[in-house]
């Protein structure tokens, strides 16, 4: 299931801008998983814990996560002084962590550690800057031999796509 819905022209530009619907949360509008619950599932810790909330979760299929991008992120000191932008590798890592929420909870794989095995067809569409809310949707494409996973991931800010690509994972002992 994709949350992609429309392509519109931005009011201040003649360029087409892809927009997406906001992901569904539970009926109260709260997160499905809080930061504390995410830390129980994923091994990442500061400064590499890059998912603040899980907004949607469909077991074995997909997850939607949120990252509040703040000026206090350690990489903004040098990337770039006077014009801070979230590094693309950090955006991809955040998308992968959302994918980790799906992988780590698959039957017979719970508790395993998945690491990157490859990154394919990744494209960056616009900068992510302090103050942005990065919404990442990661969908499981396949699992092979219960050791390798392939996921499709997309990140948006204010309904505009900022990054997308295929993420490949391997289960390590």
With a CB cutoff of 8 Å and minimum separation 6, the contacts of 134 are: 66, 67, 68, 69, 86, 91, 94, 128, 155, 156, 157, 162
Does 10 participate in catalysis according to the annotation? no
- Write the CA distances from 72 to 57, 97, 142, integer angstroms: 28, 20, 36
The single residue of 10, 39, 44, 79 carrying the catalytic annotation is 79
Q: Which residues are catalytic?
A: 79
């Amino acid at each position: 299931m994709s949350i992609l819905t429309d392509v519109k022209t931005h009011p201040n530009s003649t360029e087409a801008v892809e927009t997406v619907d906001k992901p569904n949360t539970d009926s109260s509008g709260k997160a499905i998983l809080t930061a504390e619950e995410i830390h129980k599932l994923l091994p990442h810790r500061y400064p590499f814990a890059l998912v603040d909330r899980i907004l949607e979760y469909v077991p074995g299929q997909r997850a939607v996560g949120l990252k509040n991008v703040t000026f206090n992120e350690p990489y903004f000191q040098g990337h770039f002084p006077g014009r801070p932008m979230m590094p693309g590798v950090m955006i991809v890592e955040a998308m992968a962590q959302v994918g980790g929420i799906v992988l780590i909870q698959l039957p017979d794989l719970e508790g395993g550690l998945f690491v990157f095995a490859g990154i394919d067809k990744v494209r960056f569409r616009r900068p992510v800057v302090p103050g942005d809310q990065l919404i990442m949707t990661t969908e499981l494409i396949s699992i092979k031999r219960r050791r390798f996973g392939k996921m499709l991931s997309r990140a948006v800010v204010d309904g505009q796509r900022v990054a997308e690509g295929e993420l490949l994972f391997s289960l390590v002992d």
